[in-house]
Structure 1
Amino acid sequence: VYIEKDCSAEMTIPPDAQAAKSRHPMQCQIGRQIALQGAVDDYRPHVVVIFGASGNLAKRRIFPTLWRLFRDDLLPKKVNFVGYAWSSLTMLQLAQSFEKYCEVKYTEKELFVRFMKKCAYIQGSYNETSGYKCLQKIVNVVQADADIPVNRLFYLALPPSMFVEVTAQIKEHCMDEGDSWSRIIVENISGLETKSNVILSDHLAHMFKPNQIYRVNHYLCKDIVPTFLILRFGNALFDASWNRNSIESVAIMHKEKSDMTASSACTGQYDIIRDIMSNHLLQILSLVAIEQPASLCADDVRDEKVKVMKAIGEISTQDVVLGQYQTENGSAKNGFLVNRNMPTFAQAVVRIKNDRWDGVPFILSSGTAMNETSIEVRVLFKPIKEGDKVTRVELVIGVHPNDIVRLKMQTEISGMEAMIEDAELNVNYAREDKITRSQEPYERLFIDVFKGSQINLVREDELNCAWRYVH
């Protein structure tokens, strides 16, 4: 179905070799359970609606992601895409805006044309009903053509201030009638003030069921959920020593080399504490400190994450360091001191008050304009003393840009005299001899939503726990 702007229950996983290519080669039972969760429905037609289709997020991320999934045959067989925005564009103009980010090869041109024929565009207002009625007409055309109820996926690539109005319109005009599913993807909302967060969270909970709301946390879509669960509970070596008796400290570090956030920070649109510390780093902390869940279903995993967050003790000002970066001559860089309360670096010591972690400091740090862009977890084990010699073991888990697990230890150098040297054991998921490419976070996100899996997404009570440590 190709329509211009004029408006003129879970299934089984198909035996698709492509789906298996993206899985990490960890052959343990817990890994297989995670990989096989959920299912993609190839029987029903699907309509994916991108609100904010003319914005940078849609052009640079969402449409290119949908193209790659379509190219690799990882989407449901029957799927159509609808862009929705207030901008006066044709479908051709919209396509020209995102095609360069799709990186279409010469041999893929014909396939890209087939992808574009599945796309439509609606110019409409976000606070008026006419555009949403037009959207529902498109869904009705798809449904009539297939003679089967349509599954609907709505992606809100919009500022959080527009979520209430848009979701209210979706609820009134565009939802299914109970014979298929409707799912709403909302982008990160943790940068809002507490009052705005509560209002928005309550609104979404009133409008939709929990299994209809998919809150995006892009860190959780970077394979870290299966990585941590497999590492912890699929390896007896770490599971037995993952406690206060063996671990001295845990450092969770986020570094951003770019200073592109300067202008937004000055205007109050970027907050490293709300956007990074409370939203992303606390999520990683909950995965590091998690107890073994009753099962690998999304709610059981998230129940254990919430228990960790609730066990975090009060964070005092003595445990927090804040800073703003400066130029070499000491003046404020890009006018940051216009807002003296807007840090560009933050570090906090977090303590978990339970039997496993009592007394172990979790050090969370995040900063912009750093020496590199990276996200990593460093688990430092307690030293072992043998006479005058002290040996240490450190486990490093790389989340970005490289998915790695590195175990740093001491080994003996062969020779006449007993000498010790540092050594490393490495697992690199992005090694050069790997035949298949790894999934991008947005690709994993869409696959999870199509399958109905929420294990990599954030639940409302997780957000509530994170907010209470910020305000």
Structure 2
Amino acid sequence: MAASSEWHCEKRPLSKNESFARENEDVPETGCLSIVVLGASGDLAKKKTFPALYNLYRQGFLRKNEVHIFGYARTNITDDELRDRLRGYLPQGTGDAEYVSSFLQLIKYVSGSYDDPEGFQALDNAISEHEISKNSTEGSSRRLFYLALPPSVYPQVCKMIKNYSMNRSDLGGWTRIVVEKPFGRDLASAEELSSQIGELFEEPQIYRIDHYLGKELVQNLLVLRFANRFFLPLWNRDNIANIQIVFREDFGTEGRGGYFDQYGIIRDIIQNHLLQVLCLVAMEKPVSLKPEHIRDEKVKVLQSVVPIQDEEVVLGQYDGYKDDPTVPDISNTPTFATMILRIHNERWEGVPFILKAGKALNSRKAEIRVQFKSVPGDIFKCEKQGRNEFVIRLQPSEAMYMKLTVKKPGLEMSTVQSELDLSYRQRYQGLVIPEAYERLILDTIKGDQQHFVRRDELRAAWEIFTPILHRIDKGEYKSLPYKPGSRGPAEADELLERAGYVQTHGYIWIPPTL
């Protein structure tokens, strides 16, 4: 159930979305649940959506006597053929076989095109049969549509759902739509897409999914910042020199060059994943943990970002990228980008937020690196070893550690960099960290929109990046070549140095082994 604003001020007229949310406050979160995966035969559905649904089923969050899963796609196959295709993507460990077989029996397949009323009427009939078979009580019918599809077909699919497959029976209940990124290519296309879908569904029904918001360490950010006393006085421009948010992959596009070339690293990673992380790192404390209060603070951060300066951007393209036959020989699409965002408010004025993402680099990781300012009056002369840093490793080897200077063991008074380390693999042995898609699908079923992108938030994000993206598309920004397996263009390290980042020398964090 989508959370709404406080209702204590009844004199204020309710907005359309608030009215919708209020009317749906009493919809039960139990009863007949139909999950429809559109694009069921595609890679996203097979590799992410269905495995996430299986794990929720395996853990008891999807109950056999309540849920049914429907796959919809153009491919003309039977129920059993879809089940056979999915089986290889589900766990094969000891004790899984019975659960996998039971889960697959919950899946029914409907074939049809994405603009075909007959196909969506057939889908509606199949869902209705399931609801009737479960003897659903009035108000207990729930329909969740997961669009594992290209954004270009979102409007027509949403129109078909609205006209032919939406829950409008006497059972009442709700209908929710999950849409995947990339949500548009720039501000204009995103706004057009939002308007087309917004004409069909209310904002509380729309869940724009960014799987980074479902990652365990990203979800931990609010707790770290606002539940720990020693962070509160430090988290500002008086103490923090710079903040890096980094996404690195040690492989290239690997057969997806044609698709990737339409978007590039900024649209693919920075504009959504890294910007979402920035919001959680930089936002003010919300009034409460209600989804709208949190999303309000995220929007304020985005609206405080000043235009990106030319001299604070470095783009790169790895050697060999254009060897892919699906990539144009004249492609200027960046596979690497380092850029500095600056937030014009009281807390962050003057602190550079360094967003860095790239493919075919020398390591694979995603992390947040908060670098604190140097110690005033450094009597130990240890700044050359590095500054204090708080590092949140998002993937792989999830961890949080504080880099600090300590005395090196021995008779001499010499210093060395070490860490206070919370490594999840070591601290939480035997505890399985859920996949991001599991958490977000469960949130959708519960109606919790905290970890989903609101329309005004999406607009504010595109306003930041659209000017530079248009210039890249026109060839006004050039991508510098870099060698696969390197750190990226040398100019990126020079940009970090100009921004005030102090490199640590002689220290490497090593994930603990069990």
User: Fold conserved (TM > 0.5)?
Assistant: yes
Letter in 1 for 2:366: I
Q: Is the 8 A contact 2:32 2:136 kept in 1?
A: no
Name the SS of the counterpart of 1:449 in structure 2: helix
1:205-255 Cα offsets, whole Å, 9 max, x none, are 221111111101011110244311111111111111000000000011111
Alignment of 1:248-327 (within 5 A): 248-260=241-253, 263-265=256-258, 268-326=261-319
In structure 2, C-alpha distance between the alignment counterparts of 1:150 and 1:127, rounded to whole Å: 25
Query: Which aligned runs of 4 or more in structure 1 are off by greater than 6 angstroms?
Result: none
In structure 1, C-alpha distance between the alignment counterparts of 2:334 and 2:178, rounded to whole Å: 29
Report the count of equivalent residues: 434
Q: Is the 8 A contact 1:261 1:270 kept in 2?
A: no
Aligned to 2:42: 55
Structure 1 unmatched ranges of 5 or more: 1-8, 11-37
Distance apart, 1:461 and its partner CA: 1.1
Q: Is the 8 A contact 1:156 1:187 kept in 2?
A: yes
Of 105-114 and 77-86, deviating more is: 105-114
Is 1:183 matched up with 2:183?
Answer: no
In structure 2, C-alpha distance between the alignment counterparts of 1:188 and 1:112, rounded to whole Å: 29
1:55 to 1:266, Cα distance in 2 relative to 1, 3 A: closer
Alignment of 1:30-429 (within 5 A): 43-76=30-63, 78-105=66-93, 107-145=95-133, 146-148=135-137, 149-177=140-168, 179-190=172-183, 192-260=185-253, 263-265=256-258, 268-326=261-319, 334=324, 338-384=329-375, 385-387=377-379, 389-391=381-383, 392-429=387-424
CA RMSD of aligned residues (A): 2.3
Distance apart, 1:184 and its partner CA: 0.4
Of 99-108 and 232-241, deviating more is: 99-108
Aligned to 2:477: none
Distance apart, 1:415 and its partner CA: 4.4
In structure 1, C-alpha distance between the alignment counterparts of 2:393 and 2:26, rounded to whole Å: 29
Of 107-116 and 235-244, deviating more is: 107-116
Letter in 1 for 2:356: S
Name the SS of the counterpart of 1:431 in structure 2: helix
1:385-440 Cα offsets, whole Å, 9 max, x none, are 32361442100011112221110001123544322111101112233752221100
Letter in 1 for 2:208: R
Q: TM-score, normalised by structure 1?
A: 0.87
Name the SS of the counterpart of 1:81 in structure 2: strand
Indicate the percent of aligned positions where both proteins have the same amino acid.
37
1:266 to 1:223, Cα distance in 2 relative to 1, 3 A: closer
Of 124-133 and 224-233, deviating more is: 224-233
Letter in 2 for 1:456: H
Aligned to 1:3: none
Letter in 2 for 1:424: E
Q: TM-score, normalised by structure 2?
A: 0.80
Distance apart, 1:450 and its partner CA: 1.1
In structure 1, C-alpha distance between the alignment counterparts of 2:380 and 2:344, rounded to whole Å: 34
1:234 to 1:432, Cα distance in 2 relative to 1, 3 A: closer
